[in-house]
Structure 1
Amino acid sequence: MHTLSEKARAAIADILPPEEILEPSSELYTKESTTWAAQKQQHPALVVRPGSAERLQKLVPYLYESGLDFAIRCGGIGSSSAKDVVVSMKQFDSFKYNPDDHTIVVGAGQLWGDIEQKLEEVAPARIAVSARVPWVGVAGSTLSGCLSWVGTEFGLGADPQNMLDVEIVLRDGRKIWASTEPDLLWALRGGGGNFGVVTAFHFRTYPYSTSIHCGYISYPPSALEAVSRGIAEHAARPIDPRVSFHCLIGAADEKFPGQSSWTESTDRKDRAVQFAKFHLGVFVFDAYGEEHGRSDKGFKWAFDIPGAVDKTVVTTIRGANELQSANKNLVGATNSYLNACLADEIDPEFVIRGKNWVEGISSLDSRLGPGTLFLLEVMPGKTFNATSSPEETAWPHSSNKHVLQLLTGSHPDSNCPEELALHALAMAPYIIKKTHSKEEFFPNFLESINDRSAIFGVNYGKILEVKKKYDPQQRFNKGSFIPIPSDRKDSVQSSI
Structure 2
Amino acid sequence: MSIDQDLSHVQSLLDPSEVIPPTSPLYGPNAQGWAVQKDLHPRLVAVPTSPESLARLIAHLYKSHLHFGIRGQGFLSASAKDVLVSMTAFDEFHFDPHAEVATVGAGQTWGAVYRKLKEAAPSYAIVGARTPAISVGGTVVTGGLSWLSAEYGCISDPENMLDAQVVKSDGSVVWASTEPDLLWTMRGGGGGFGVATKFLFRVRPYPQAIWAGPILLPRQQLPTVATRLEAFLASNPDPRVSMFLYIIRKNLLETIGAFQDMLVVHAYDANGEEHGREAFKWALDIPGAVDQTGVTDMEGVTKLQQNVDKSKGTMRQYWAPLFLKTLSAATITRAIELVDELAKQDSAVSDCTYLIFELFALCDAKGSCAWPRPPGAKHVILIGAGCPANASAGQEEMARNLAEDASERILGSRTVNLLANGGEEFHDPVMIWGENLDRLRQLKKVYDPNGRFQGPIRA
TM-score (norm 2): 0.95
For the 8 Å contact 2:100–2:203, the answer to whether it is kept is yes
Across the aligned residues of Structure 1 and Structure 2, the Cα RMSD in angstroms comes to 1.9
Of the three residues 439, 448, 452, the one matched with 1:475 is 452
Which residue number in structure 1 is paired with residue 27 of structure 2? 29
Alignment of 1:415-434 (within 5 A): 415-417=392-394, 418-433=396-411
* In structure 1, distance between residues paired with 2:218 and 2:255: 8
Which residue number in structure 1 is paired with residue 257 of structure 2? 269
For the 8 Å contact 1:128–1:204, the answer to whether it is kept is yes
Of the three residues 330, 333, 349, the one matched with 1:352 is 333
Is 1:393 aligned to 2:386, yes or no? no
Is 1:464 aligned to 2:452, yes or no? no
Which residue number in structure 2 is paired with residue 61 of structure 1? 59
Distance 1:366 1:113, change over 3 A: closer
Which residue number in structure 2 is paired with residue 48 of structure 1? 46
For the 8 Å contact 1:439–1:457, the answer to whether it is kept is no
Number of aligned residues: 456
- How far off is 1:346 after superposition? 1.9
For the 8 Å contact 2:157–2:369, the answer to whether it is kept is yes
Which residue number in structure 1 is paired with residue 295 of structure 2? 314
CA deviation string 1:440-479 (max 9, x = no partner):
111111112211133211111110010011112221114x
- How far off is 1:406 after superposition? 0.8
* In structure 2, distance between residues paired with 1:289 and 1:128: 18
Identity of matched residues, %: 38
For the 8 Å contact 1:37–1:79, the answer to whether it is kept is yes
- Partner of 2:294, secondary structure, is strand
* In structure 2, distance between residues paired with 1:224 and 1:20: 52
Letter in 2 for 1:85: V
Which residue number in structure 2 is paired with residue 443 of structure 1? 420
Which residue number in structure 2 is paired with residue 341 of structure 1? 322
* In structure 2, distance between residues paired with 1:156 and 1:353: 28
Which residue number in structure 1 is paired with residue 431 of structure 2? 454
- How far off is 1:70 after superposition? 1.0
Letter in 2 for 1:456: W
* In structure 1, distance between residues paired with 2:340 and 2:203: 42
Looking at secondary structure, tell me which structure has more helix per residue.
2
In structure 2, stretches of 5+ residues that fail to align are none
- Partner of 1:27, secondary structure, is coil
* In structure 2, distance between residues paired with 1:378 and 1:335: 26
- Partner of 1:161, secondary structure, is coil
- How far off is 1:360 after superposition? 1.9
- Partner of 1:349, secondary structure, is helix
- How far off is 1:312 after superposition? 1.0
* In structure 1, distance between residues paired with 2:283 and 2:330: 16
Of the three residues 96, 111, 122, the one matched with 2:120 is 122
For the 8 Å contact 1:439–1:456, the answer to whether it is kept is no
* In structure 2, distance between residues paired with 1:7 and 1:404: 47
Letter in 2 for 1:339: A
For the 8 Å contact 1:357–1:428, the answer to whether it is kept is no
For the 8 Å contact 2:3–2:66, the answer to whether it is kept is no
Is 1:282 aligned to 2:262, yes or no? no
For the 8 Å contact 2:117–2:124, the answer to whether it is kept is yes
Distance 1:366 1:218, change over 3 A: closer
Which residue number in structure 2 is paired with residue 228 of structure 1? 226
Of the three residues 328, 337, 352, the one matched with 1:371 is 352
* In structure 1, distance between residues paired with 2:304 and 2:38: 27
* In structure 2, distance between residues paired with 1:192 and 1:454: 13
- How far off is 1:439 after superposition? 4.7
For the 8 Å contact 1:145–1:159, the answer to whether it is kept is yes
In structure 1, stretches of 5+ residues that fail to align are 258-263, 485-496
* In structure 2, distance between residues paired with 1:82 and 1:161: 34
TM-score (norm 1): 0.88
* In structure 2, distance between residues paired with 1:346 and 1:454: 18
For the 8 Å contact 1:361–1:424, the answer to whether it is kept is no
Distance 1:310 1:367, change over 3 A: closer
- How far off is 1:266 after superposition? 6.8
- Partner of 2:292, secondary structure, is strand
Distance 1:270 1:167, change over 3 A: closer
Letter in 2 for 1:269: G
Deviates more, 1:85-94 or 1:361-370: 361-370
